[in-house]
């Protein structure tokens, strides 16, 4: 089991590195910045400010999202033309000239009726690839970050669960790519871990890897995979032992408890081009 523990520790370290690097130079997105050049909203607060009553009474979800799309369009234009990350004041590093290799989406991923701006910065310098879920709070005129993660095919579900594949698979299986998972917290308006777990993490070992490498199957693999599924899982989550291998049926039960009948939210990412940005509104 020493090899298992080493891999789990390494994967967690990789994840922590990506969380740490998940920011451009400049202020974080949930800081106050100069928004004087943002489009004015249609509320009665004056100076482009929307009061709480404007959103709750006069502003339907459709109206709010129309206003947000103007702001998101302006932010993406600045990102494209000036490489300024939304909610920051400084220029982001970009290794290359074709910024359209990055992508964005505008969709309500958390189910609160308000659209978020998702950006996948796929071609960021060094190891610091990043994706962020951003929302502009019309009431306080400030950018908020709901989640920051590595851009490798994250999935969102209608019950608030988000799956985030880690940056590199250093393990012994690819049947299920190693991933973290998070839960949307409505009170914080943010994706968080749950039950004080530092990470919610899943990875697998599969028989195909051993067959290709010529290494014999470990005894613990054979003892766990009595269903002959050819794969075993390690689950670091509430109620699970992170050093115990789990069978396919046990993993299926874990996944069913996590997702249940929730539907996967379609996130239509588009290339970061001015044509696509101009098409927002």
Q: From 131, 29, 25, select the one nearest 71 (Cα to Cα).
A: 29
The rounded distance, in Å, linking the Cα atoms of 209 and 215 is 9
The rounded distance, in Å, linking the Cα atoms of 113 and 66 is 12
Greater model confidence, 112 or 53: 112
Taking the model in full, what pTM does it have?
0.73
What does the chain come to in residues? 281
User: Residue 195 has what pLDDT?
Assistant: 55
Lowest mean pLDDT among 5-14, 176-185, 198-207, 213-222: 5-14
- For the cut 80, the answer to whether the pLDDT of residue 102 exceeds it is yes
User: Residue 96 has what pLDDT?
Assistant: 63
3-state helix, strand, coil in the chain (%, to 5): 30, 25, 50
Tell me how far CA of residue 123 lies from CA of 70, 186, 227, in angstroms: 25, 31, 42
Phi-psi region of 47 (alpha: psi -120 to 50; beta: other; left: phi over 0): left
Tell me how far CA of residue 39 lies from CA of 47, 70, 209, 277, in angstroms: 10, 7, 54, 15
Number of CB atoms found within 10 A of residue 274's CB: 12
Average pLDDT over residues 195-206: 78
User: Residue 66 has what pLDDT?
Assistant: 93
pLDDT tens-place string over residues 44-69:
333 333 232 333 334 567 889 999 99
Q: From 238, 240, 234, select the one nearest 218 (Cα to Cα).
A: 234
pLDDT tens-place string over residues 67-100:
999 999 999 999 999 888 898 876 776 666 688 8
Q: From 135, 168, 148, 164, select the one nearest 68 (Cα to Cα).
A: 135
Task: Collect all residues with Cβ–Cβ distance below 8 Å to 259 and sequence separation of at least 6.
Answer: 157, 159, 161
- For the cut 60, the answer to whether the pLDDT of residue 143 exceeds it is yes
Mean pLDDT score of the chain: 77
């Amino acid at each position: 089991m020493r090899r298992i523990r080493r891999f789990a520790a390494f994967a967690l370290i990789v994840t922590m590195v990506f969380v740490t690097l998940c920011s451009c130079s400049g202020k974080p997105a949930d800081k106050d910045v100069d928004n004087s050049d943002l489009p004015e909203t249609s509320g009665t607060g004056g100076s482009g400010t929307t009061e709480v009553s404007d959103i709750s009474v006069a502003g339907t979800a459709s109206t709010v999202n129309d206003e947000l799309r103007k702001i998101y369009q302006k932010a993406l234009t600045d990102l494209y033309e000036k490489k300024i990350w939304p909610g920051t004041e400084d220029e982001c590093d970009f290794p290359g000239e074709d910024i359209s290799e990055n992508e964005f989406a505008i969709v309500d991923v958390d189910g609160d009726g308000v659209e978020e701006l998702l950006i996948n910065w796929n071609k960021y310098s060094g190891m610091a690839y990043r994706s962020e879920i951003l929302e502009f709070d019309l009431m306080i005129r400030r950018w908020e970050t709901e989640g920051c993660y590595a851009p490798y095919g994250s999935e969102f579900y209608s019950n608030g669960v988000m799956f985030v594949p880690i940056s590199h698979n250093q393990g012994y299986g690819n049947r299920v790519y190693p991933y973290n998972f998070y839960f949307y917290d409505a009170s914080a308006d943010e994706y968080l871990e749950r039950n004080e777990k530092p990470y919610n993490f899943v990875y697998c070992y599969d028989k195909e890897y051993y067959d290709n490498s010529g290494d014999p199957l470990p005894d613990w693999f054979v003892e766990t995979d009595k269903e002959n599924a050819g794969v075993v899982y390690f689950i670091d989550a509430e109620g699970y032992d992170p050093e115990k291998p789990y069978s396919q049926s046990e993993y299926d039960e874990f996944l069913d408890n996590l997702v249940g009948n929730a539907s996967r939210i379609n996130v239509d990412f588009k290339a970061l081009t001015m044509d696509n940005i101009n098409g927002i509104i």
